[in-house]
Amino acid sequence: MQELAQTALATVAASNISANERSDRFRRLFVSAFDIPELGKFTLVRHWKTATPVQQTTFLKEFEDTQVLTWALRFKNYKGERVDTRGVTREGQATWLVDSLIIRPPSSPVSVQWRVHRATDGSLRVVDIISVGVSMAQTFRADYASVLQSNGGNIDGLLSKISAKNEQLAAAP
């Protein structure tokens, strides 16, 4: 996890790269480090099972785009941060929680935990990030459930909203 975070901070947060290059770099890192299908299934919960295969594929692509565009914008403002891994706790047969601190001088360190599991292909992949006690995966689940609820559970309505959000994020300076 420390290597992943350091790579992100060193390559994606570089100040001398274009927004497109930052997004491309983060996409490669995100796809290689996160279990996007597992995170997508967790996020949509019961709606995943009722979605068509095309809707599932579209959701995963739009979900990936949202994460890439959002985090690439955030990394643009990072300067001098580093990650210190503090320890690893086994949570199950194929899941671990990695404790770390993000050191951000002159601010106070931020506690971050990375939930990692063994994916179906055997690789270790991130399925959640918990920062200051807030779970990224649970936040995604709540946010997307709210959009689904406001659209009467309509997956196509959700996909339309995510696509519109991604267009806005892509147009951001």
pLDDT at residue 95, as a whole number: 94
Q: 88 Cβ partners below 8 Å, 6+ apart?
A: 96, 97, 98, 99
pLDDT at residue 72, as a whole number: 74
Q: pTM for this structure?
A: 0.84
pLDDT at residue 132, as a whole number: 86
Strand partners, 96: 90, 116
Per DSSP, which regions of the chain are E strands? 82-90, 95-103, 110-118, 124-131, 134-135
Nearest-angstrom CA–CA distance, 67 and 2 = 20
pLDDT at residue 7, as a whole number: 72
Q: What is the pLDDT along the chain (173 residues), one digit of tens a residue?
A: 667 777 776 666 677 777 788 778 888 888 888 999 999 999 999 999 999 999 999 999 999 999 888 887 777 777 777 888 899 999 989 999 999 998 888 888 989 999 999 998 999 999 999 998 899 999 999 999 999 999 899 999 999 999 999 999 888 87
pLDDT at residue 2, as a whole number: 65
